[in-house]
């Protein structure tokens, strides 16, 4: 989410859509960005799925690889990320 919103997020619980959306509208916004990440799932997260023994370090490494791939494509997906980011706000509790 930090890559999409281009800002640090303390906790994901502080994120919400800026305006009241129907469930269907919220799903459509998520559908606009999730396909941008699908190509990385197999490459980066395969180790978590296929390995029987999953150490915390191995899981963290796979997640870091996934995050790196998402970050590497930020410029290419900037328009889609920015459109989504305009719909989301970080609430300070």
Q: What pLDDT does 49 receive?
A: 76
User: What does the pLDDT look like over 17-64, one tens digit per residue?
Assistant: 988 889 999 999 999 999 999 988 888 877 777 777 678 888 888 889
**What integer pLDDT is reported at residue 78 of this predicted model?**
94
- What's the confidence (pLDDT) of residue 24? 93
pTM more than 0.85: no
Q: How far is CA 3 from CA 6, 23, 47, 58, 79, in A?
A: 5, 24, 23, 22, 13
Q: Is the pLDDT of residue 76 over 90?
A: yes
Joined tokens for residue 10: 């303390």
Q: For residue 69, what are the contacts with CB-CB under 8 A and spacing of at least 6?
A: 40, 43, 44
Residue 80 has pLDDT above 90, yes or no: yes
pLDDT for res 92: 78
5 and 90 in contact (C-beta within 8 Å)?
yes
């Amino acid at each position: 989410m930090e890559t999409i919103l281009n800002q640090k997020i303390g906790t994901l619980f502080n994120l919400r859509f800026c305006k009241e959306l129907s469930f269907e509208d919220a799903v459509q916004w998520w559908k606009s960005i999730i396909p941008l990440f699908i190509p990385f799932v197999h490459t980066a997260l395969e180790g978590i799925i296929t390995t029987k023994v999953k150490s915390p370090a191995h899981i963290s490494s796979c997640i870091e690889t996934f995050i790196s791939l998402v970050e590497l494509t930020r410029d290419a997906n900037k328009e889609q990320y920015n459109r989504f980011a305009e719909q989301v706000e970080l609430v300070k509790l």
